[in-house]
Structure 1
Amino acid sequence: MQRIALHTRLRPGSESEYDDVHASIPAELATAIRAAGVHGWWIWRDGPDLFHLVEVEDYQRMRHALREHPANVAWQARMAPLLDVPDDYSGTDSGLPLVWALPAERDGAIR
């Protein structure tokens, strides 16, 4: 399982619309994302900056699986006008590099 952190940025003034669109994503998109190996996807927003945490079996495989999936193509077309740099799923990015982590405690010991 991989945990991938991502950063994207909204175009100025599109914050409210972005939030509204994400209030409910299409069921077929959620199904496609899960079928591509995603176990969880969280997005936080600070003004125009978006921070994503993705728990996925294989990030590169997920990106490849969703690149041409009709539900994702439609979603990316909907998101493109809201994003500073639209995602076309053609890259080989691996997310943000991890700088530091506080491991979870187990049985009173940090591991």
Structure 2
Amino acid sequence: MAESIALHTKLKPGTEDEYADAHAHIPPELVVALKEAGVKNWRIWRSGLDLFHVVDVENYQAMRHALADHPANVPWQARMAELLAVKDDYSGEDAGIQKVWELP
């Protein structure tokens, strides 16, 4: 059963258009790598500089470990590091944003 993980990242000021453009042109090899790592869906919302992600994935930590040094992910993460205020950590040790409540 897949899990849903919420994430929060923040853009550097002035990079909003570059971030949107990058995500309008996700490299096909990255899409394949994400799917092979168990990602079922990944959605991102933006409010100002704040980015909110919801990732549906088989195993979040396993996905992070699988993509940490993946040749399709490394250049993507380098590009995102230019746009994000804080570098993404692919150690696989994070658990995303803590869920407080869910409609039963």
* Other-structure match for 1:81: 82
Change (3 A) 1:58 1:91: closer
Contact 2:37 2:66 in 1 (8 A): yes
Q: State the 1:49 CA deviation.
A: 0.3
TM-score normalized by structure 2?
A: 0.95
Distance 1:15 1:48 in 2: 7
Aligned length: 103
RMSD of the alignment, in Å?
0.9
Shift of 1:91: 4.8
1:98 and 2:99 equivalent?
yes
Larger-Rg structure = 1
What pairs with 1:1-111 in structure 2 (closer than 5 Å)?
1-103=2-104
Unaligned runs of 5+ in 2: none
What is the SS of the residue equivalent to 1:40?
strand
- Percentage of pairs with the same residue: 64
How far 1:86 sits from its partner (Å)?
1.2
Q: How far 1:88 moved relative to its partner?
A: 3.8
Deviation at 1:24, TM superposition (A): 1.6
**Offset, 1:101:** 1.3
Distance 1:95 1:88, change over 3 A: closer
In the superposition, the TM-score normalised over structure 1's length comes to 0.90
Structure 1 stretches of at least 4 aligned residues deviating more than 3 Å after TM superposition: none
